[in-house]
Amino acid sequence: MSKKTYITHHGMTDLLPGEIEQWQALEAAIHETARLYHFQEIRTPVLEQTELIARGVGQLTDIVSKEMFTFNRGEDHYVLRPEGTAPVARAFIQHHLAQRGGTQRLYYIGPFFRAERPQKGRQRQFHQFGAELIGATGAIADVEIISFMAEIYRQIGIVNTTLKLNSVGDPESREAYRKALHGYFKPLTDQLSEISRNRLETNPMRILDSKEEQDQPLISGAPVITDFLSESSRTHFESVRQLLDIMGIPYEVDPFLVRGLDYYTETAFELTSPDLGSQDALGGGGRYDLLIEEVGGPPTPAVGFACGIERLMIACEALGIRLADPSGPDIYFVTRGEEAARWALEKMPELRNNGLVCTMDYSGRSLKAQMKDANRQQARFAVIIGEQELQTNLFTFRDMVNSKEFQISSSEIAKRALSL
Ligand code: HAM
């Protein structure tokens, strides 16, 4: 009878040794960059209240209308968090972080969940790193956030990216623009794709985000938001652009950049890569000056970004960027007999305290099998121990790279391993 086996859900993957080293190196780079920008880490639960996400991200967005993993237990409505900004806003309010004074500069790394149709660069469980700068209105904050995001890619060596920039304005600007777009697309209804036709009455700005072939010529003739910005939105956008120029951060203004989440105000941006295929956004973000109030907090301006780690990895692969490789142990103890194995077990903590990575055979295999294992694990040195070695306190210390052997005493093992 064949045994039943199990595999991951569609669009969810395991991260295995061999690949995980690359992730760990990236995470170390993110933590280090965050430290230099003086952002502090925040970790929020993977489950949030469904209503928080529905209100925060917006009922009419794709995420809320069709991509949330939800379940109920008794009175409670749970959602697997599809993004990090609404949860951080919730935490900011719940823990009265405003009372700590100044701006809050928070960053996060973790898994997020969207029930999308999986394809390359689009998963149902994916990972983001992101940052939120809460409590500052100035364009300087927008640019600091963009600079933080760009710096991580620069450090990794992903430099062939494009920063797309737009302003979605304040609510008045957006209302004027919404009307203009509606007026433009209405007579073209018959030519629009079905998905865009549905968006016409609910949220015509989302038509601009359409990937449907037949919508493209219609979109290219549409009015642009830049012509509808209020005085203050226009000034803010100009300041952001000037500061990006001063910082030497290149960008392209894309007047049709609308983000798929409803909370944005003013600045919106996306970082794209030609190495990703159709899902070409490495990351994105913008200002969300009304979100915190929308989910029950005091009026608080904020700006942030989030980037997909899987997509960053795809770009790394395309560019041949390897951040870290699996490494073997410094010392592999090859033991003959129980006493020798016990001796090695007792010796290893001392060596590990000296920073040496140690391992051994755990199942009393033959010497030949152990040497083979040491080779397979790419051990730098093997120390061979048997009854005689224990009696004489002289051990064979084998350099696995150039196959040289030395006879050394127990107390010399650490020194010898560290010096070669
Ligand atoms: P977002 O554009 O929805 O923004 O997601 C940011 C990034 O997460 C995307 O550019 C993409 O790289 C990655 N991503 C999103 N969905 C998937 C998926 N299904 N599979 C793989 N990667 C994915 C946000 O999430 C906002 N919270 C960003 C933000 C922070 N705005 C202000 N603060």
**Which CATH number covers residue 76?**
3.30.930.10
Predicted pLDDT of residue 67: 97
Instruction: Determine if ligand 1 sits within 6 Å of the CB of residue 122.
Output: yes
Instruction: Determine if ligand 1 sits within 6 Å of the CB of residue 116.
Output: yes
Percentage of the chain modeled with pLDDT above 70: 100
Do the bridges between strand 331-335 and strand 381-385 make them parallel or antiparallel, or are there none, so unpaired?
A: parallel
Structure tokens of 89?
A: 């806003």
Residue type, 205: M
Are 241 and 353 in the same domain?
Answer: no
How long is the chain? 420
The residue whose CA has the least distance to atom 22 of ligand 1 is 308
> Mean pLDDT throughout 293-320?
97
The residue whose CA has the least distance to atom 11 of ligand 1 is 308
CA of residue 126 to ligand 1 center, whole Å: 9
Predicted pLDDT of residue 237: 98
Beta partners for residue 409, in sequence order? none
Do the bridges between strand 162-167 and strand 404-408 make them parallel or antiparallel, or are there none, so unpaired?
A: unpaired
Question: Is the model's pLDDT at 153 over the cut of 90?
Answer: yes
Residue 244 falls inside a structural domain: yes
Are 253 and 353 in the same domain?
Answer: no
Predicted pLDDT of residue 280: 92
How many other β-carbons are positioned within 10 Å of the β-carbon of residue 117? 9
Predicted pLDDT of residue 203: 87
Are 26 and 129 in the same domain?
Answer: yes
Instruction: Determine if ligand 1 sits within 6 Å of the CB of residue 144.
Output: no
Are 305 and 360 in the same domain?
Answer: no
Predicted pLDDT of residue 260: 87
Are 338 and 313 in the same domain?
Answer: no
The residue whose CA has the least distance to atom 9 of ligand 1 is 283
To the nearest whole number, what is the mean pLDDT of the chain?
A: 96
Are 252 and 362 in the same domain?
Answer: no
Residue 263 falls inside a structural domain: yes
* Cα–Cα distance for residue pair 145/133, rounded to 1 Å: 7
Question: Is the model's pLDDT at 420 over the cut of 90?
Answer: no
Counting from 1 in the atom list of ligand 1, the atom nearest the Cα of 282 is 12
Question: Is the model's pLDDT at 1 over the cut of 80?
Answer: no
pLDDT in tens, 179-193: 999 999 999 999 999
- Domain CATH code at residue 410: 3.40.50.800
Predicted pLDDT of residue 102: 87
Task: Tell me how many domains the chain contains.
Answer: 2
Predicted pLDDT of residue 202: 87
The residue whose CA has the least distance to atom 17 of ligand 1 is 122
Instruction: Determine if ligand 1 sits within 6 Å of the CB of residue 56.
Output: no
pLDDT in tens, 341-371: 999 999 999 999 999 999 999 999 999 999 9
Structure tokens of 402?
A: 């150039």
* Cα–Cα distance for residue pair 352/350, rounded to 1 Å: 5
Full 3-state SS string of the chain: CCCCCCCCCCCCCCCCCCCHHHHHHHHHHHHHHHHHCCCEECCCCCEEEHHHHHHHHCCCCHHHHHCCCEEEECCEEEEECCCCHHHHHHHHHHCCHHHHCCCEEEEEEEEEECCCCCECCECCEEEEEEEEEECCCCHHHHHHHHHHHHHHHHHHCCCCCEEEEEECCCHHHHHHHHHHHHHHHHHHHHHCCHHHHHHHHHCHHHHHHCCCHHHHHHHHCCCCHHHHCCHHHHHHHHHHHHHHHHHCCCCEECCCCCCCCCCCEEEEEEEECCCCCCCCEEEEEEECCCHHHHCCCCCCCEEEEEEEHHHHHHHHHHHCCCCCCCCCCCEEEEECCHHHHHHHHHHHHHHHHCCCCEEECCCCCCHHHHHHHHHHCCCCEEEEECHHHHHHCCEEEEECCCCEEEEECHHHHHHHHHHC
* Cα–Cα distance for residue pair 179/181, rounded to 1 Å: 5
Could you tell me how far CA 51 lies from the centroid of its own chain?
24
Pocket test for ligand 1, best of 128, 165, 287 (most atoms within 8 A of CB): 128
Task: Report whether 331 contacts 350 (CB < 8 A).
Answer: no
The residue whose CA has the least distance to atom 31 of ligand 1 is 285
Residue 312 falls inside a structural domain: yes
CA of residue 285 to ligand 1 center, whole Å: 8
Instruction: Determine if ligand 1 sits within 6 Å of the CB of residue 272.
Output: no
Residue 210 falls inside a structural domain: no
Are 246 and 370 in the same domain?
Answer: no
Q: Which residue among 319, 352, 370 closes a domain?
A: 319
Are 364 and 302 in the same domain?
Answer: no
Q: What is the pTM of this model?
A: 0.94
Q: Which residue among 291, 319, 347 closes a domain?
A: 319
Q: Which residue among 292, 319, 346 closes a domain?
A: 319
CA of residue 41 to ligand 1 center, whole Å: 18
Instruction: Determine if ligand 1 sits within 6 Å of the CB of residue 266.
Output: no
Rounded alpha-carbon distances, angstroms, from residue 230 to 61, 138, 170, 253, 312 = 25, 16, 7, 18, 36
Predicted pLDDT of residue 209: 87
Residue 183 falls inside a structural domain: no
* Cα–Cα distance for residue pair 358/406, rounded to 1 Å: 18
Question: Is the model's pLDDT at 140 over the cut of 90?
Answer: yes
Are 153 and 286 in the same domain?
Answer: yes
Its domain, for residue 345, covers 331-419
Instruction: Determine if ligand 1 sits within 6 Å of the CB of residue 283.
Output: yes
pLDDT: is 102 or 82 the higher one?
Answer: 82
> Mean pLDDT throughout 133-159?
97
* Cα–Cα distance for residue pair 193/215, rounded to 1 Å: 6
Residue 339 falls inside a structural domain: yes
pLDDT in tens, 23-38: 999 999 999 999 999 9
Instruction: Determine if ligand 1 sits within 6 Å of the CB of residue 304.
Output: yes
> Mean pLDDT throughout 130-145?
98
The residue whose CA has the least distance to atom 25 of ligand 1 is 83
Instruction: Determine if ligand 1 sits within 6 Å of the CB of residue 84.
Output: yes
218-243: b (≥16 Cβ within 10 Å) or e: bbeebebbbebbeeebbebbebbbeb
pLDDT in tens, 227-271: 999 999 999 999 999 999 999 999 999 999 988 899 999 999 999
The residue whose CA has the least distance to atom 16 of ligand 1 is 122
Residue in the structure block whose two tokens are 């009419």: 60
Residue 346 falls inside a structural domain: yes
Instruction: Determine if ligand 1 sits within 6 Å of the CB of residue 114.
Output: yes
Are 238 and 371 in the same domain?
Answer: no
* Closest CA relative to residue 262, chosen from 220, 323, 205: 205
Instruction: Determine if ligand 1 sits within 6 Å of the CB of residue 151.
Output: no
Predicted pLDDT of residue 2: 83
Are 101 and 234 in the same domain?
Answer: yes
Residue type, 261: L
Residue 47 falls inside a structural domain: yes
Are 341 and 241 in the same domain?
Answer: no
Predicted pLDDT of residue 292: 98
Pocket test for ligand 1, best of 68, 69, 83, 163 (most atoms within 8 A of CB): 83
